[in-house]
Structure 1
């Protein structure tokens, strides 16, 4: 269910925070969700950002709390990046509308990124995702609703989690989840929020990205009460492109990691043996194409010379 239209949030409107005084010019609506609408905005300094606003609901407040805690932990660790930029209220038509402003991620979902740049990109993209999850876990939360559309990868290869509506405090119940990515759906554990829940979801995300049809066939062949982690483990073992990471996937699906940092370390170690594809290799691919073209041209020239010589 989408959030209702909000007063004053139309293109060209300048949204001014009642407490902090931040000013954001609405450019366009880029998404709707149950907890609020997301708008592309321009900040007072001219930068683009994403602004999420919605009705007065506990869920939106909890999203802000998660992001604020994550920002605090990042600053304490000396990390100068932050997804959350501002949080305030906007007064319009006699009511106050809560909103928060976040970094605008110029990226694509992880599955589209891998289709574009090649399957070997899972090594670097997966490591970036695990780094984000580890930071969230250290802040005391899990992401919860992990799936491809919530994992964006920028052109540079940087990975960001978006839509923190499903973030849940560790030890509480998981607030939001989606079918295949839900550990309980596969009878592989509970919906109690712990780091293993996110790691399980990431393992299923890998299966989804690399063999969606296989995952669909597996799901269709099983009854709800007969689904199990071992079915997913066997599927992982049948996907050639994922073989370097099969030990990691097996362990995550079985709940074998003690922490997300441990999961990060093993993925990084396995990734060293995974040949890089050179996504930064748009330039390399272009150079390769130029070399190929030059080689073909030289062959044509040689053929012409030989033909001319034989014709004399």
Structure 2
């Protein structure tokens, strides 16, 4: 147990740095602390008493140990990332000359295809026709999100000044503070106009387009909750969350247009490779049509 003391002292210094100087979130601090506690124990078991003794072969051994313990690729990548950040800090402090975890391959997590809702179910979800102000607001939010393929943060960040309803456009600020102007469609404009006639009744505290009952900008958590509730009320077969509407927008646009570059621009993706995941969804659709329609595909089925 004594071998852990000097190892843990260095980790404690790093955690203070993360919390006080870098002011990272409590969750990030907690993740670092948890991962480094496990790694410190494992390093101690290798009879290493000081981080200066750590070599690349030891890091590979730690990765192999994690795999044997059944860690999923994403969890193992998180653990190695915590170790790499800690060792980078030791290099910056002059304790280490080089980071022994640099160059150690991080396992790739399998890339899951985004889930989307088919067009019929989107129509089912959006067939909300109520005079209740909150229902009008919620439909307006869903129409805008599906109509423009917005991220959730972009949706809640819309202010009144970001709208040009006559042109049917909205300005949003995406990742990296990049702004883009997007078409939102006639239906979205119609429901925004309905919502604007009711919005004043909530005594708005600011310029936010979508506000809560208290008149403040609606929160991300509230949007998630309301979308999920509408999915159940409207009888949609899968769980409805905001990102699913963004995925559905991208998939339906790509299926209809085949224009990957245009979809990339609309989604605000910095790299075309990020948008290309939707070509896999489109291919899945084409493959299912082929399996059902092509005589040679049918023949193999019993």
Normalising by structure 2, we get a TM-score of 0.26
Which structure has the higher relative contact order (CA within 8 Å, separation 6+)?
Answer: 2
Q: Report the structure, 1 or 2, having the larger strand content.
A: 1
Q: Report the structure, 1 or 2, having the larger helix content.
A: 2
Structure 1 or 2, whichever has the larger Rg, is 2
Normalising by structure 1, we get a TM-score of 0.25
